[in-house]
Chain A
Amino acid sequence: MNRPFVAGTLVAITISTAGAAEGPPRLESEQIELGRKVYGQYCATCHGSRGEGAANWQEQNDQGELPPPPHGPEGHTWRHADAALYHTIAKGWRDPFNKTDRLTMPAFEEILTPDEIRAVSTYLKTLWTEEQRQFQWEQSEDRPFPNEQN
């Protein structure tokens, strides 16, 4: 083995290692499957069987409420860190521009276990582009799921 080859190999390994360290981790298939099942049971009614959301999700209705958004690349789910996704699913969310007091997104902490909430979040990640996965992973570095916080 000559020196240039050694150097080239080292560079390649370094780049490969660096790339692996800077990308989001592979999603666990068991979590995806559990999340898919939970999503189908509790989320699909509003957000669509394939996460397509409501057709007019960007327009407030007569009550000032925003219809359920899509979860794919065209939506905004990928913009939220893991901690925010968990919190929104567990506690729900009320758009302050609602003209009613009811939650825009229902709370599921009395219905789903913490692992099911993490699993459904994991399933949603399968709907995003690589760029969106990367962005959301970077957002989550300081704001992971609750049980992953130090």
Chain B
Amino acid sequence: MPETNIPSRKAAWLPRLALAAVMPALIAGHGAAAQEAELAPTPIEAMAYDAGSKALLVGGQNGLFRSTDEGQTWQTVPLPPGAGEIAATAVPARSDNAIYVAGPDMGVLRTDDRGESWSNLNSGLPNPHVTALAAHSTQPDTVYAYVPETGIYRSQDAGKSWKMMDRGPEGTSHLIHTNMEGSMESGWLYAATPDGTRVSMDCFCLWRDAGNLSGPITGLAFDPQHPKHLYAASDAGLFKSTDGGQEWIKVSSPPIAAAVTSLMMAPTGVLYAGADEGEIFKSSDGAATWERAGE
């Protein structure tokens, strides 16, 4: 895969590279244990659903949290000391307790034991500044990471090695992989960008606009049971597409003044929206009505 014309950011990333260098590849037994917790009033930047244990995962500035009762109670998922802010989290297909997290200072980490130990997966990434992450919707070992100003990297061995695939849409803040039919390869990638949504087959053949949404997209999700169904959040509201992102209609937003900062639909058909002040809402009817998670 050509990696030409990739600007060197070595100097700018020396402090972070130094941090990465002292972090062992496997960060085992760091001592912290899962504890009951309450979500802090900070933006929910990342959400994922672990279908194996029916657990909702949310992340942000204050770490990673897990709920098995739809948000009524939360437990911390311990992170390595100094891991930093979480920008994205993902659960691989057919997961067995595996969780990926990524962030602007941590790169990509993976746990297979709900946070008791973590593997540092940054070997092969140009720097640990990762702002978006997506697990392949059907292939358990395939994961994608977006490194700003460099591009999208793909791993097909659960993060042990990475290959630069494409520069990707500039400013990608959320990345999802769907198994919508019609791809020449194994699915589709959608990116939330500062100006709408973009889509490409997962061969990275061509990025094109997914519909005519404009402005920053702050959350992006698809329905695993109906992969043509997508949801996108922006300052203008919440939007739904039933044709893979060609056309979008405005739907009901969660009843909050604050912005939606992340979206995720579980295989159960429940759509979750994380908000700017640590609130989480859920909709069981395709964003027609909303209720606060945990109530």
Contacts and interface: CB of A to CB of B under 8 A. Distances in A.
B204 A97 contact: no
Contact of A80 (B203, B244, B246): B203
Nearest to B200: A76
Interface in A53-79: 58, 60, 64, 66, 69, 76, 79
Interface in B34-66: none
Given A84-B184, A93-B184, A132-B2, A79 B205 contact: yes
Contacts of B203: 76, 79-80, 84
A76 B244 CA distance: 21
B185 A58 contact: no
Given A97-B244, A131-B1, A131-B2, A76 B204 contact: yes
A96 B180 contact: yes
A88 interface: yes
Interface in B167-189: 180-182, 184-185
Contacts of A95: 182
A79 B204 CA distance: 8
Contacts of A60: 208
Contacts of B2: 129, 131-132, 135
A37 interface: no
A16 B4 CA distance: 25
Given A76-B203, A135-B1, A96 B181 contact: yes
A84 B185 contact: yes
B206 A58 contact: yes
Contact of B184 (A88, A129, A135): A88
B163 to A, nearest CB: 8
A132 B4 CA distance: 12
Classify the secondary structure of B's interface with A: loop
A79 B1 CA distance: 9
B244 A96 contact: yes
Interface string A76-100: 1001100010001000011111000
A56 to B, nearest CB: 12
A83 to B, nearest CB: 10
Interface string B222-259: 00000000000000000000001010000000000000
Contacts of B182: 94-96
A127 to B, nearest CB: 15
A123 B59 CA distance: 49
Nearest to A87: B184
B279 to A, nearest CB: 35
A80 B180 contact: no
A76 B184 CA distance: 11
B22 to A, nearest CB: 32
Contact of B205 (A64, A76, A97, A131): A76
Nearest to B166: A79
Interface string A124-150: 000001011001000000000000000
Contacts of A135: 1-2
Contacts of A66: 206
A64 B245 CA distance: 13
24 contacts: A60-B208, A64-B246, A66-B206, A76-B203, A76-B205, A76-B206, A79-B204, A79-B205, A80-B185, A84-B184, A84-B185, A84-B203, A88-B184, A93-B184, A94-B182, A95-B182, A96-B181, A96-B182, A96-B244, A97-B246, A129-B2, A131-B2, A131-B4, A135-B1
9 closest residue pairs by CB, A with B: A96-B182, A76-B205, A135-B1, A131-B2, A79-B203, A97-B246, A58-B206, A96-B244, A84-B184
Interface of B: 1-2, 4, 180-182, 184-185, 203-206, 208, 244, 246
Given A76-B205, A97-B246, 19 more contacts: A58-B208, A60-B208, A66-B206, A69-B205, A76-B203, A76-B206, A79-B204, A79-B205, A80-B185, A84-B184, A84-B203, A88-B184, A96-B182, A96-B244, A97-B244, A131-B1, A131-B2, A135-B1, A135-B2
